[in-house]
Amino acid sequence: MAGLVDSLRLTVPAPGWRLEVAGVSASAIDLTRSLYGGFPYVVALILATTYGLLFLTFRSVLLPLKAVLMNLLSLGASYGALVAVFQMGLLSGLPAPFAFPQMGYVEATLPILLFCTLFGLSMDYEVFLLSRIREEFLATGDNSRSVTVGLQASGRVITGAAAIVVAVAGSFSLAADVVQIKALGLGIALAVLVDATLVRGLLVPATLHLLGAWNWWLPSWLVRVFGPSTGVHSGFATVHGQVTEGPRVDGGATDQVPLPTGSIR
C-alpha cells in the first residue's frame, strides 16, 4: 500500500499539476513515517544519555551497560506481548473482560508511548537496586554479599511500586473500551510484571554475581578524568583494611594491586 501511495504521488497528470493522495490508508502511512522517521535517533540519544548518567552515578563501565540491556529486555517482552495479543489474537477467545480483540496490527503510536513510559519505570527500579547494592559494597567490599543484601533491602520497595503500576495499568486494559487504551494498559502491566520479577529478581542479581568485581571496574584513565567512586579505586575497594578482589587496568595489564590499609570512606 505504501508503494502504491508513493507511486501515485509521483505521477504528474499534466505539466504544472500535482497529484495529492488522501484517505485512511494514505493518512496512516504519513503518520507512521512522521512518527518513526526520527525515532531511532531519539532511542539512541536516550540510551546514550542514560548510560552517561549512570556512569557518573556509579563510576562503572559495565553496570550502566547492563542496566540499559535489561531495560530493553523488559521493553521487548512488552512489544512481543502486544504482537501476540492484538496482531495474532492470542487472547481473543477468552470470556469478557479478559478477551482482547484481534486487530491484525499494532497501533502505530503504541511502541513509542510504551518506550517512553517503560524505559523510565524500569530504570527507576534499576537505580533503586543498584544504589543499595553499591552502598553495601562500599561498606563491606564483598560483591556477593552486596548483591544479596541490596536485593533484600530494595526488593519490597520495587515489588510494592511494581504492584501498584500493574494494578492500575491492568485495570485500564480490562475496563477500557478503546483498543488503544487496552493495549497500552496491557503492555505496561506485562512489562512491569516481567521487569519486577524475572529481570530485577532473577537476571540482574545473577548477572551481578557472575560479573563479580568487574561490576565496579573503572579504567585508570577514566579515574583520572572523573575521579574514583568513594571507596573504590579502579575496581578495588578498601574496607577496614581489606582489599576486595577485582580487575585492575593499567595500560592493558590485569593484576591485583594492594591498597594502603585503613578505611578511606
Distance, in Å, from the CA atom of 95 to the CA atom of 101, rounded to the nearest integer, reads 11
Residues 165, 191: Cα–Cα separation, whole Å:
10
Taking alpha carbons only, the member of 25, 42, 118 closest to residue 80 is: 118
| Separation CA 218–CA 228 (nearest Å) | 8
The runs of H, that is alpha helices, within 11-88 are 24-36, 39-58, 62-82
pLDDT tens across 202-250, in order? 999 999 999 988 888 888 887 777 776 654 444 444 443 343 444 443 3
Asked if residue 138 lies in contact with residue 232, where contact means CB atoms within 8 angstroms, the answer is yes
Q: What is the pLDDT of residue 77?
A: 92
CB burial of 235-262 (b: ≥16 within 10 Å; e: otherwise) equals bbbbbeeebbebbbbeeeeeeeeeeeee
7-11, 56-60, 75-79, 93-97: lowest mean pLDDT where? 7-11
Go through 33-62 and write b for each residue having 16 or more CB atoms within 10 A of its CB, e for each that does not: eeeeeeeeeeeeebbeebbeebbeebbbbb
Q: Whole-model pTM above 0.85?
A: no
Question: Nearest 5 degrees, angle CA 197-CA 200-CA 201?
Answer: 55
Q: Using 50, 70 and 90 to split pLDDT, how confident is the model at 253?
A: very low
Cell numbers for 169, please give them.
495499568
- Where are the domains positioned within the chain? 57-210, 220-254
- pLDDT by residue (tens digit) across 76-128? 999 999 999 999 988 887 887 788 888 888 888 899 999 988 998 888 889 98
Q: What pairs with residue 238 in β-bridges?
A: 243
